[in-house]
Structure 1
Amino acid sequence: MKIKSHFSFLLVIFIAIIRTNVSLAECDNVKDYCPTIAPEKQAIFINGLPCENPDNTIAHDFKSMELSKPGSRDDFGSLVKIVTASKFTGLNTLGLSIGRSDIEVDGMVNLHNHPRATEMIYVSEGTLAAAFLNTQNQLFQKILKPGDVFVIPKGLFHFFLNRGAQVATVFSVFNSQNPGLGSLSSLPSHTLESLDNIKKKLNSLSHSELVGVNDLTSAVLDIIYG
């Protein structure tokens, strides 16, 4: 009877393993590194992306110029680029992604979140307001200048507004190989007119920093759900 019980337990575990898609990208590494290569090439499959042969790993795998230029401009006047292991091979299995945002004068990075990552930003140029809304519907907002660092906790909605007279450039680090992105600007129901209204509301909100948390919270909730 005891043997049957143990066998049944092991069988359940085995079935659970073979029926589950497991990604180990956020777990502790079992190797120093694992630069990825294109899936169509012969490779060792680890952590959701194929790894190149360790004998072929070179220093170039750990360098990227992906953030040397801005990303594509959106309707809010920002150019955002997020680089993961698929573009920067040396990041594979390290649980990291990087990003760059260039925000035009009076432009903004619209309300969005990263469901799988905390984001830490470093202001390289310009002046901007950075803010996030926590799960108690409280708004946390600061004016940032070159050299300042700001942290947005995992999964929380946040936005950036250019508050200076020049383009603001921000570099980001995410503690996930695949941070994810949820953005209001991706909703098909948003016309250019509604996008402009969101931009005006968030700009107005930024100027209201000293009014009080409750007022700011109501304003953000109106923008998100209104």
Structure 2
Amino acid sequence: MFLLILFFFSLLSCSCASVQDFCVADLSLPHGPAGYPCKNPAKVTVDDFVYSALGVAGNTNNLIKTAVTTAFTAQFPGLNGLGLSLARADIAVGGVVPMHTHPGANEVIFMVKGTITAGFISSANTVYLKTLNEGDTMIFPQGLLHFAVNSGNTTALAIVSFSSPNPGLQFLNYALFANNLPSELVEKTTFLDDAQVKKLKAALGGTG
């Protein structure tokens, strides 16, 4: 019995060669459902685990006055296989992060500065809405539609984390108006009139 106990503890304390500490993405190989293949450990460097782009403000000179800088596996190879990723959101005055969803991840947003009004809609169509200020944190559960609007008078900055290295993204407006889905079908499924649908398609680059 003593020998069995000793063997058990030796297994717990051993430095087993089969343990894999990380799987830095080999971006030269195709991405699959389980992520990227692992880079040869002999070629892994500390730079694979360091990413500096989130320290740089994004360009908000666009239609939605918002810039999102991502730290997903493709930009930050050390995240591969670890089940998380990050992003930086710069939202100018009057800016908006339109209604969207991440099919593959929960999201946590942390307000670094400024003020936004943010919320999500449950599958029961219940709205969870809050004004967030510096230091506030909010959770958006996986797959639910959510959004953010700058409701302050200065540029807002938020750091976002996801429970996946590749959370996926679908904007509701772009899904409806930025492709070749026929206008008549958009009108029937959204109850919008023809003029409004065509105006939105023209603004977002859709056809049909």
Q: TM-score when scaled to structure 2?
A: 0.71
CA offsets 1:126-181 (integer angstroms, 9 cap, x no match): 01111000000000011111111100000000000111110001110000121110
1:125 aligns with 2:113: yes
- Which whole-Å CA distance do the structure 1 matches of 2:80 and 2:104 have between them? 16
TM-aligned CA distance change 1:95 to 1:165, over 3 Å: same
Q: Which residue of 2 aligns with 1:36?
A: 25
8 A contact 1:72–1:81 mirrored in 2 = no
Q: Which residue of 2 aligns with 1:220?
A: none
Q: Secondary structure at the match of 1:50?
A: coil
- Which whole-Å CA distance do the structure 1 matches of 2:155 and 2:199 have between them? 24
CA offsets 1:39-86 (integer angstroms, 9 cap, x no match): 259xxx994312221123222211101212244544121112222111
Select the residue among 112, 122, 125 that pairs with 1:134.
122
TM-aligned CA distance change 1:76 to 1:193, over 3 Å: farther
Equivalent residues in 2 for 1:106-125, closer than 5 Å: 106-125=94-113
Q: Which residue of 2 aligns with 1:181?
A: 169
- Which whole-Å CA distance do the structure 2 matches of 1:48 and 1:153 have between them? 22
8 A contact 1:79–1:102 mirrored in 2 = yes
Q: Which residue of 2 aligns with 1:63?
A: 50
Measured on the aligned residues, the alpha-carbon RMSD in Å equals: 2.6
CA offsets 1:183-215 (integer angstroms, 9 cap, x no match): 0242463679549x9xxxxxxxxxxxxxxxxxx
8 A contact 1:39–1:49 mirrored in 2 = no
- Which whole-Å CA distance do the structure 2 matches of 1:46 and 1:163 have between them? 38
CA offsets 1:90-135 (integer angstroms, 9 cap, x no match): 1011011111111111211000010110000000110111100000
Q: Which amino acid is the alignment partner of residue 140 of structure 1?
A: Y
Q: Which amino acid is the alignment partner of residue 97 of structure 2?
A: V
Q: Which amino acid is the alignment partner of residue 58 of structure 1?
A: T
8 A contact 2:29–2:36 mirrored in 1 = no
Q: TM-score when scaled to structure 1?
A: 0.65
- Unaligned 5+ segments in structure 2 are 1-18, 179-196, 204-208
- Unaligned 5+ segments in structure 1 are 1-29, 198-226
| Between 180-189 and 92-101, the greater mean CA deviation after superposition | 180-189
Number of residue equivalences: 164
Q: Moved runs in structure 1, 4+ residues, more than 3 A? A: 70-74, 190-195
Q: Which residue of 2 aligns with 1:93?
A: 81
- Which whole-Å CA distance do the structure 1 matches of 2:145 and 2:133 have between them? 21
Percent of residue pairs identical:
35
- Which whole-Å CA distance do the structure 2 matches of 1:46 and 1:55 have between them? 25
